[in-house]
Structure 1
Amino acid sequence: MVNDVLLSANKAFSEQNFSKALALYEKCFPSNVKELAGILRDKPILKHVYRNYLYSLGCEESVDKIERLMYEYKAADPQDKIVTATKELPRLDNRQVSPLLSIIVPIHNSGQYLDFCIQSIREQEFADFELILINDGSTDSSAEIIERHALQDSRIKVLTNSQASGNPGTPRNQALTIARGVYVGFVDSDDWINRDFYSELMSMALESNADIAFSGGFNNHEASGRVSKRIYKAEGFDDPNSSRFKTHDSFMIWDKVFKRSMLEMFNIRLGETKAAVDVPFVFAAYYYASNVVFNDDFIGYNYRRESESSVTVAHRKNSNCEFEFQAFSNVRAWANSNGIADYYFATIDIKLVSSLMYTLKMVSDEYFDGVFDKVKALFADVDPNSFKDYCVQNQKWWLFKEFLKVRDHSSDVVKAYLLEKEHAAKAKTIEQLITPRYQLEGERAGILFFPCWLTNNPYQKLLYKAINEHFNLAIEGYDQKGLRKELIDKKKGEFKYIHLHWLHNFFDFEDSSVLDNTLESLKYAKQNGFEIIYTAHNICSHDSENAGDEKRYREQILSLVDHSLAHGELAKQRLISEFNVAAESIEVVPHGTYGDFYGEKLDKNQAKEKFGIPAKSTVFLFFGNIKGYKGIFNLLSRFQSLREKRDDVYLIIAGRVLDQDLMPELTEQTSDANILFRPGFVQNDEVIDYFSSADLCVLPYEQVLTSGAAMLSVTMRCPVLAPSIGILPEVITPEIGLLFDSFENMQDQMERVASGGVSLSQDQQFDKALDSYDWTNLVKRISFLRR
């Protein structure tokens, strides 16, 4: 009977009677796509007949139905090359409308970070977006910050919940109901994004008409100020023959963009549990996405690690983790009710096991037994054979062993097993801590330095490269936590010096054991023949709230130091007078230049054009981390006074705002069109743009000892205007810059520069300074290394 109907349908199709053909085909093919894929598999002729049905749908203007079927069929049979081929099928509607992107930010009591977050979005290079801010019952300053930005930017849409929803999924779902963009992106309200984040993702997405565009990872910003990169492995995601098909290192929503029509077609929404709200959303999006693009080399999202709202701290550790069980229960319910292909249940199992094992390791003893029982019950439904295959192919035997341990043993046995693994992990952590992050080989017993901060600042790399080349010393750099007896035992005899930078890393006002461990390790090192070097990047923290304690802690560390390096004579005198450091143990070694680390300087007019600044204007630049003592508001007020007199002056402010309390006022005071405010971590390849465009680098510091920004400006042959404090008068000579003794004087100097009343240094006038502060010449001053 079916064959007769199929023949009649084909005849009607050949006669272009598409309405009749459609009705007949629908009697032959099941509407359940999973069942359909099973019938058509390995039947190429029948697949071509089914394509006749799809073509008939298109001719009857059922394009939306075709599009949905294409998503579902490709997900059900990812190996198919016939049904999902688009050739000769009616063209799907890919019209681009404005806005091209909807950016969604849920907000609940995020006032401390919110200004920074919103500003980073507003300043995106990709401008065709709407920004949907959802105030989810905030009781702090968030509402005022939202209102201020909304008044300044018509792209902002605001939703307000009078009562907090209690989860981060609900406000996002509310935003999705009103979103109009072709694509959707998400940003968390305590994070921020680089200026090119969405331009890169949207360029990929639009060019390929992708369902999802992936970035390659994110910048992980720790509370200590350290920045690390989390890099994803995307291999195999779009390969049906890979064990990693439809799996990805990222199960977050904020590091990618999604095609909104796909989300709407399958009603893909966030979970509405206390946490793990991304889980049901990502599973559905990954399953249906048939066209994905990746840029594994691009990282533009900045994640703020372990803030007070951290899911790890607030939800997993001290709860029964019901939210996670509910999330995976919802995923399995979705898979069963939507006829999801069998292979994808194995993908769900992979994520379920890895997530719940992480939860078991995190949860406190109080909740362990209850969480264990639920995990064990869920593991009973996991197919051990497919999960084993995945673990074997991806070298994750340890995960399969953990799975079997939970599935087959009691709570007490598993708790003991995990405790044993925790001890092994701690030992491995120690091994990692005493593994160098940076190494230079040398024939002489050399230097172990702490902390190794090469990501944020090239200072250490340039210093040690010069030392290595001049003295032939071996060099190794470590995390500050690597300063421990195990490393000293491992390196004694092979290395001679321990070099400390930025002493605030070696004590903690909340945890006295940090200082105790530092002192114990330094004493042990000296007993084993090491000499301790200290570089005075500062004498005491400029904005310390615990100045008395800090001075005592520093005194205790400095009492064990054998050699101190000061960036100038003033710094040397302060070490002597404030910390009783012996004068003969201090050597003056200024901050060196940055060489060609940031590349070749651009033509000034070309650089100004990049920022949309007229060639004949005067550009003042503030560059570097923004903290209260750096006097940024003094600069802004003086610049505004200058602006009242002339329109041809511009101010660029670029750098991380480390005092988040400053953001509201900064945002308000930088609204002038002639002020370019670029908050956030400045990428290495952006540095040259800022300094090439600047006519004068202005450092309005209220307190300072030394300044990397000043030396960076000298390196870039950009004149400097700096205060007559700290060691700056020793560095900023008339050939390379100007000094001021009051902020009124600073304004006068800026005005003279803008009016041409003072002749700024030419490139050749920097040659002498650059030679003096070349690292190769500077390290020759370190006399004790000659021994």
Structure 2
Amino acid sequence: MVNDVLLSANKAFLGQNFSDARAIYEQCFPSNVKELANTLMGKPILKHVFRNYLYSLAFEGDIDKIERLMYEYKAADPHDTIVTSTKGLPTLDSHQETPRLSIIVPIHNSGQYLDFCIQSIREQEFSDFELILINDGSTDSSAEIIERHAAEDSRIKVLTNLQASGNPGTPRNQALAIAKGVYVGFVDSDDWINRDFYSELMSMALESKADIAFSGGFNNHEASGRVSKRTYTAEGFDDPNSSRFKTHDSFMIWDKVFKRSMLEMFNIRLGETKAAVDVPFVFAAYYYAANIVFNDDFIGYNYRRESESSVTVAHRKNSNCEFEFQAFSNVRKWANENSVAGYYFATIDIKLVSSLMYTLKMVSDEYFDGVFEKVKALFTDVDAVSFKEYCVQNQKWWLYKEFLKVRDHSAEDVQLYLNEKEEAAKAKTVEQLITPRYQLEGKNAGIMFFPCWLTNNPYQKLFYQALNEHFDLAVEGYDQKGLRKELIDRKKDKFKFIHLHWLHNFFDFKDPSVLENTIEALSYAKQNGFEIIYTAHNISSHDSENAEDEKRYREQILSFVDHSLAHGELAKQRLIKEFEVPEDSIEIVPHGTYGDFYGEKIDKTQAKEKFGIPAKSTVFLFFGNIKGYKGIFNLLSRFQKLRERRDDIYLIIAGRVLDQELMPELTKQTMDANILFRPGFVQNDEVIDYFSSADLCVLPYEQVLTSGAAMLSVTMRCPVLAPSIGILPEVITPEIGLLFDSFDDMQEQMEMVALGEISLFVDEQFDEAIATFDWKNLAKNISFLRKSF
């Protein structure tokens, strides 16, 4: 029953005496929002009365208080459908302000990568941003790089700490204190973002007036050059009935944007510990965020994973992990001081248990006992019942079992238990290694190949599909570490051949056991009747620092090989001369073309338009992985000489930079508006755009045996300009391309193409080459397979 005081408040409200109504309502409703939610729960009439209070605030113009109340109330009672659906309340809508985005980049000795990081931000399709760079006591070239970019771009603001703060949270918090954007995004100084990263996130955020806009994952770039996609699921995050409510796969700050007014309203800041600084920020942001948008299909952030500087090694393994305990202590303190709703403590527990179990598994023996005692103490405060419910609903029984083990047992028992789990995990890893990554069914005992590299290049897929179709061969592809006795025992009656690609995967200069394991596996395979095939993608590494050792290692592996496949006559002769491979065991099987794998070319004018390039200009394309021996700086210097005389030429550089030390100079030399530098893994659906726009694919290699980029260009009916080295003269005929003998010659031919003195090739001229190098035609000519089947 509504009491007399509330009736008087309603009477004042109906009489439009809003100031009096507000004062009376505030006497009746608790100021603590958690208590308020409990008071209103299950009382719809009282909720409607409380809505009158909100409207009183609106008529009084107290928009700040309405915004805060609604955030806090939605977080405290996410099931409410009356108060939270109040219509017509004014909001702090600042979407028309500028800048609409503040991008924050903390910098500490990131000179090797910083140039490209900043450039990737400056080239964003979404341009209404301020970029706040915080030089956190850098002693390398970072300050000069920052200064140069700031002089060129008025959107850049610079903060400088003369002494390093010692943690990645402090400089970000300094930037948040001066940020003016409607939204805030974060980029780490050794990472980079795709051109459409913020246009996608900001489009979602602005359209929905979201508190947080999530992307769907990130591209993980390993030091080895391998690129993998890490994807998220947002399932349950905004569903109060889900066990995953307010829980997300990502606990990072850099793969999303946050509404700044929400951050300011609740003073949401980064932690200032050595690591785990995202933890307090993300917990607070997830709790208060009421309007969330996701695009699980969009990935635009590129994360650089350098093993030698990883948090796991630097901070977890060889320390007492005090930073992590401090982070969760701060979170629990925040939750208590801000009367956070009860359900959210269970969410905190989920992250706490999973994070600290990971830490226990990583920490070294030296620190284990001390870390264990602190973890155990924190686990005693975890609500075991709600945590069990989460683990059951999300099929994470193993995590609940680990939790109980730590909570109820000694350090010695737990360490033994974790060691047993580690051994079981190793056994599981072996099982995963001997599980094929790629399979083609066939009647004939066929080929197991190593390593299976299908993600970054379709070469193997196209080659084996052709073999499978012509010879009806079974085919399976494996990780290079899958070459082991267990697999040979399992497959010896079902497969006849083991096929090795890229021999550098089968030895390690720093770890002799890698080669030993390779030799042991090959010897065992031969004893069990397997024949060994080797494809000479290269004869030796072009940039090896251990040439003598590498030659010796390759010789040992090649001694087991029965059949070698060379991409051309030159490659064959080098195998014979440098490794004494028997001539009659070598077959020439050229690198094939790519068929319709990447789709059909689009109109050249349309393709150039996509890159903002004038239709009548000449476009040179460098495509493929970038390493020192590929001569990219030779191309850049010759292009710049041509640019001194011409404005109608453009250069596109697209591909992964595998020699990271090249990045600062690459970024510096590609600042020309007529150069489009697109480092990183090129998605399959983007390849066609690059080759459709190009008038000439230029390959300025200093060393090469064969070239997948050349064959891709032929496939795309794009003429090639390549050096007359390796097997390229055997492939690049006058009908489909040009060869050069020096880099001066390369420049001269580029200029002649731009001037129209060399007429560009028509599509029909490529027909013969495409037919000759079609995988179906190449595969059927492999003689030892013809004899076997």
The answer to whether the superposition gives a TM-score over 0.5 is yes
Asked if structure 1 preserves the Cα contact closer than 8 Å seen for 2:115 and 2:668, the reply is no
Q: Distance in 2 between matches of 1:352 and 1:214?
A: 22
Q: Which runs of 5+ in 2 are unaligned?
A: none
Q: Distance in 2 between matches of 1:185 and 1:350?
A: 26
Instruction: Indicate the residue corresponding to 2:519 in structure 1.
Output: 519
The SS at the match of 1:781 is coil
Q: Distance in 2 between matches of 1:71 and 1:39?
A: 17
Instruction: Indicate the residue corresponding to 1:246 in structure 2.
Output: 246
Q: CA deviation at 1:194?
A: 2.0
- 1:145 is the counterpart of 2:119: no
The SS at the match of 2:132 is strand
The SS at the match of 1:448 is strand
The SS at the match of 1:672 is coil
Q: Distance in 2 between matches of 1:75 and 1:350?
A: 18
Q: CA deviation at 1:94?
A: 4.1
Asked if structure 1 preserves the Cα contact closer than 8 Å seen for 2:445 and 2:474, the reply is yes
Instruction: Indicate the residue corresponding to 1:709 in structure 2.
Output: 709
Instruction: Indicate the residue corresponding to 1:334 in structure 2.
Output: 334
- 1:182 is the counterpart of 2:182: yes
Instruction: Indicate the residue corresponding to 2:224 in structure 1.
Output: 224
The SS at the match of 1:84 is helix
Asked if structure 1 preserves the Cα contact closer than 8 Å seen for 2:51 and 2:86, the reply is no
Instruction: Indicate the residue corresponding to 2:431 in structure 1.
Output: 431
State how 1:316-327 maps to structure 2 within 5 Å. 316-327=316-327
State how 1:92-491 maps to structure 2 within 5 Å. 92-491=92-491
Give 1:389's aligned amino acid.
E
Give 1:571's aligned amino acid.
A
Instruction: Indicate the residue corresponding to 1:587 in structure 2.
Output: 587
Which stretch of structure 1 is more off in the superposition, 149-158 or 487-496? 149-158
Q: Distance in 2 between matches of 1:350 and 1:753?
A: 63
Q: Distance in 1 between matches of 2:216 and 2:601?
A: 29
Asked if structure 1 preserves the Cα contact closer than 8 Å seen for 2:120 and 2:192, the reply is yes
Asked if structure 1 preserves the Cα contact closer than 8 Å seen for 2:699 and 2:721, the reply is yes
Q: Distance in 1 between matches of 2:304 and 2:509?
A: 22
Q: Distance in 2 between matches of 1:598 and 1:156?
A: 39
Asked if structure 1 preserves the Cα contact closer than 8 Å seen for 2:2 and 2:46, the reply is no
Asked if structure 1 preserves the Cα contact closer than 8 Å seen for 2:167 and 2:274, the reply is yes
State how 1:564-575 maps to structure 2 within 5 Å. 564-575=564-575
Asked if structure 1 preserves the Cα contact closer than 8 Å seen for 2:107 and 2:142, the reply is yes
Q: Distance in 2 between matches of 1:485 and 1:239?
A: 49
Asked if structure 1 preserves the Cα contact closer than 8 Å seen for 2:112 and 2:664, the reply is no
State how 1:611-760 maps to structure 2 within 5 Å. 611-760=611-760
Q: CA deviation at 1:491?
A: 0.9
Q: CA deviation at 1:2?
A: 8.2
> Cα distance 1:691–1:707, how it changes in 2: closer, same or farther (>3 A)?
same
Asked if structure 2 preserves the Cα contact closer than 8 Å seen for 1:441 and 1:473, the reply is yes
Q: Deviations over 1:223-271 (max 9, x none)?
A: 2222222221221010000011011111111111111111111111111
Q: Distance in 2 between matches of 1:124 and 1:781?
A: 49
Q: Deviations over 1:586-625 (max 9, x none)?
A: 1111111111111111100011111111111111111111
Q: Distance in 2 between matches of 1:576 and 1:118?
A: 49
Q: CA deviation at 1:91?
A: 4.6
Q: Distance in 2 between matches of 1:665 and 1:376?
A: 50
Q: CA deviation at 1:195?
A: 2.1
Percent identity of equivalent pairs: 86
> Cα distance 1:339–1:660, how it changes in 2: closer, same or farther (>3 A)?
same
> Cα distance 1:473–1:187, how it changes in 2: closer, same or farther (>3 A)?
same
> Cα distance 1:551–1:152, how it changes in 2: closer, same or farther (>3 A)?
farther
Which stretch of structure 1 is more off in the superposition, 312-321 or 146-155? 146-155
> Cα distance 1:130–1:700, how it changes in 2: closer, same or farther (>3 A)?
same
Give 2:298's aligned amino acid.
F
Q: Aligned Cα RMSD in Å? A: 1.3
Q: Distance in 1 between matches of 2:135 and 2:764?
A: 55
Asked if structure 2 preserves the Cα contact closer than 8 Å seen for 1:226 and 1:453, the reply is no
Which stretch of structure 1 is more off in the superposition, 324-333 or 156-165? 156-165
The SS at the match of 1:308 is helix
Asked if structure 2 preserves the Cα contact closer than 8 Å seen for 1:54 and 1:66, the reply is yes
The SS at the match of 1:302 is strand
The SS at the match of 1:270 is coil
Q: CA deviation at 1:146?
A: 2.1
Q: Distance in 2 between matches of 1:416 and 1:50?
A: 57
Give 2:131's aligned amino acid.
L
Asked if structure 1 preserves the Cα contact closer than 8 Å seen for 2:354 and 2:399, the reply is yes
Q: Distance in 1 between matches of 2:599 and 2:361?
A: 46
Instruction: Indicate the residue corresponding to 2:540 in structure 1.
Output: 540
Q: Deviations over 1:511-532 (max 9, x none)?
A: 1111111111111111111111
TM-score by length of 1: 0.98
Q: Distance in 2 between matches of 1:432 and 1:291?
A: 40
> Cα distance 1:86–1:456, how it changes in 2: closer, same or farther (>3 A)?
farther
> Cα distance 1:263–1:53, how it changes in 2: closer, same or farther (>3 A)?
same
> Cα distance 1:222–1:672, how it changes in 2: closer, same or farther (>3 A)?
closer
Q: Distance in 1 between matches of 2:702 and 2:593?
A: 23
Q: CA deviation at 1:664?
A: 2.1
Q: Distance in 1 between matches of 2:288 and 2:181?
A: 19
Asked if structure 2 preserves the Cα contact closer than 8 Å seen for 1:182 and 1:261, the reply is yes
Q: CA deviation at 1:92?
A: 4.3
Q: Distance in 2 between matches of 1:409 and 1:121?
A: 50
Instruction: Indicate the residue corresponding to 2:80 in structure 1.
Output: 80
Give 1:139's aligned amino acid.
T
Q: Deviations over 1:285-338 (max 9, x none)?
A: 110111111111122222222443210010000000000000000000000000
Give 2:412's aligned amino acid.
D
Q: Deviations over 1:453-488 (max 9, x none)?
A: 111111111111111111111111111111111111
Give 1:454's aligned amino acid.
L
The SS at the match of 1:510 is coil
The SS at the match of 1:298 is coil
Give 1:516's aligned amino acid.
E
Q: Deviations over 1:29-49 (max 9, x none)?
A: 111000000000111111111
Instruction: Indicate the residue corresponding to 2:89 in structure 1.
Output: 89
Q: CA deviation at 1:570?
A: 0.7
Give 1:698's aligned amino acid.
V
Q: CA deviation at 1:27?
A: 0.8
Q: Distance in 2 between matches of 1:188 and 1:309?
A: 14
Q: Distance in 1 between matches of 2:310 and 2:611?
A: 36
Q: Deviations over 1:423-454 (max 9, x none)?
A: 10110111111111111111111111111111
Q: CA deviation at 1:217?
A: 1.5
The SS at the match of 2:357 is helix
The SS at the match of 1:254 is coil
> Cα distance 1:86–1:761, how it changes in 2: closer, same or farther (>3 A)?
farther
Q: Which runs of 5+ in 1 are unaligned?
A: none
Q: Which runs of 4+ in 1 moved over 6 A?
A: none
Alignment length, in residue pairs?
787
Asked if structure 2 preserves the Cα contact closer than 8 Å seen for 1:120 and 1:679, the reply is no
The SS at the match of 2:780 is helix
Asked if structure 2 preserves the Cα contact closer than 8 Å seen for 1:55 and 1:90, the reply is no
Q: Distance in 2 between matches of 1:195 and 1:480?
A: 34
Q: Distance in 1 between matches of 2:20 and 2:203?
A: 43
TM-score by length of 2: 0.98
Q: CA deviation at 1:112?
A: 2.2
Q: Distance in 1 between matches of 2:628 and 2:257?
A: 36
Which stretch of structure 1 is more off in the superposition, 652-661 or 753-762? 652-661
Q: Distance in 2 between matches of 1:523 and 1:138?
A: 52
The SS at the match of 2:747 is helix
- 1:39 is the counterpart of 2:39: yes
Which stretch of structure 1 is more off in the superposition, 66-75 or 159-168? 159-168
Q: CA deviation at 1:53?
A: 0.7
- 1:17 is the counterpart of 2:17: yes
